[in-house]
């Protein structure tokens, strides 16, 4: 996760300038400076959820292969305040010619039920047909701070934001959720006995049921939604480790 900090926080244009400077001078000074800037953008608080946002970025960009459209962390004016709006905005071009926009939401809680509830409640306004007002604020930020190097994807985004365009381009709203929570007696998956396998299966069934009920409750049943459900030995420990890597004392 720590190795992705710069990619998550710093606009690609700045990273490319730093890499160009290295090619010209063989000095890593500009790259090191950006690494430090990225670490300093994180809130140094034990309750910070930015570690989850960083993990969500990794999953969306490197696992799902959906490029980040804007680095909200770079827009911070106060490093002790969390970013507003969705936790991530990514996109891809579908085979059917539709521009897929992916809204991201991350929740790392001690309780699985609270994590599922708050995650789907937070992302639902961006996915429902009546969510134009909620989407607009983040999309205006994307328009003004577009952070994409893929030429074809950038061209489609510029077409979408062109107010003189008749808007023939089709856009589809999608969601990606990361839900992490404490799981007591975290098992060694490689060495489960029969009783442990049954316990894990029972827990998975419970989580599946919780997801289904929350999706219905917040009226996002017909939406494309990727869910990363990650039980952990200790969410608080993950937060502490992220803070330590970001320079918190």
Q: What is the pLDDT of residues 221-249, one digit of tens each?
A: 999 999 999 999 999 999 888 888 887 65
3-state secondary structure 177-220: EEEEEECCCCCCHHHCCHHHHHHHHHHHHHHHHHHHHHHHHCCC
What pLDDT is recorded for position 91? Answer: 96
The C-alpha atoms of residue 85 and residue 104 are separated, in whole angstroms, by: 10
Strand partners, 172: 100
Residue 94 is assigned to a structural domain of this protein: yes
Does some domain include residue 81?
A: yes
Structure confidence at residue 243 (pLDDT): 83
Is 16 within a domain? Answer: no
Whether the pLDDT of residue 4 is over 80: the answer is yes
In a domain, 53, yes or no: yes
- Kindly state whether residue 3 falls inside one of the protein's structural domains: no
Q: Do residues 151 and 139 make contact, with C-beta atoms less than 8 angstroms apart?
A: no
Two tokens at 193? 């006995």
Q: What is the mean pLDDT of the chain?
A: 91
C-beta neighbour count of 90 within 10 angstroms: 23
3-state secondary structure of 108: strand
Is residue 9 domain-resident? no
* Res. 181 pLDDT band, cuts 50 70 90: very high
Please report whether residue 42 resides in a domain. Answer: no
Total structural domains in the chain?
Answer: 1
What residues have CB less than 8 Å from 217, skipping those under 6 apart? 120
pLDDT at residue 168 above 70?
A: no
The DSSP secondary-structure symbol of 83 reads: P
| Structural domain span for residue 143 | 48-244
Q: Looking at the domain assignment, is residue 18 inside a domain?
A: no
* β-sheet with 88-93: strand ranges across: 88-93, 99-109, 171-182, 225-232
């Amino acid at each position: 996760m720590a190795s992705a900090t710069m990619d998550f926080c710093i606009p690609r244009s700045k990273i490319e300038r730093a890499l160009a400077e290295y090619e010209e001078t063989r000095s890593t000074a500009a790259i090191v400076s950006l690494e430090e800037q990225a670490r300093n953008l994180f809130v140094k608080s034990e309750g910070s959820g930015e570690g989850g946002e960083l993990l969500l970025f990794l999953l969306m960009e490197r696992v799902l292969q959906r490029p980040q459209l804007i680095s909200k962390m770079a827009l911070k004016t106060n490093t002790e305040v969390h970013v507003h709006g969705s936790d991530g905005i990514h996109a891809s071009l579908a085979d059917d010619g539709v521009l897929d926009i992916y809204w991201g939401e991350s929740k790392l809680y001690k309780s699985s039920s609270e994590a599922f509830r708050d995650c789907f409640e937070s992302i639902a306004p961006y996915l429902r047909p009546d969510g134009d007002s909620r989407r607009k604020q983040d999309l205006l930020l994307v328009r003004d701070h577009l952070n994409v190097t893929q030429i074809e994807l950038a061209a489609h985004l510029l077409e979408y934001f062109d107010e003189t365009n008749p808007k023939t381009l089709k856009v589809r709203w999608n969601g990606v959720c990361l839900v992490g929570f404490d799981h007591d007696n975290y098992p060694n998956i490689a060495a489960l006995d029969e009783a442990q396998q049954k316990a894990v299966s029972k827990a998975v069934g419970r989580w599946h049921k919780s997801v289904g009920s929350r999706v219905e409750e917040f009226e996002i049943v017909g939406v494309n939604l990727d869910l990363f459900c990650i039980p952990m030995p200790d969410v608080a420990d993950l937060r502490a480790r992220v803070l330590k890597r970001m320079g918190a004392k």
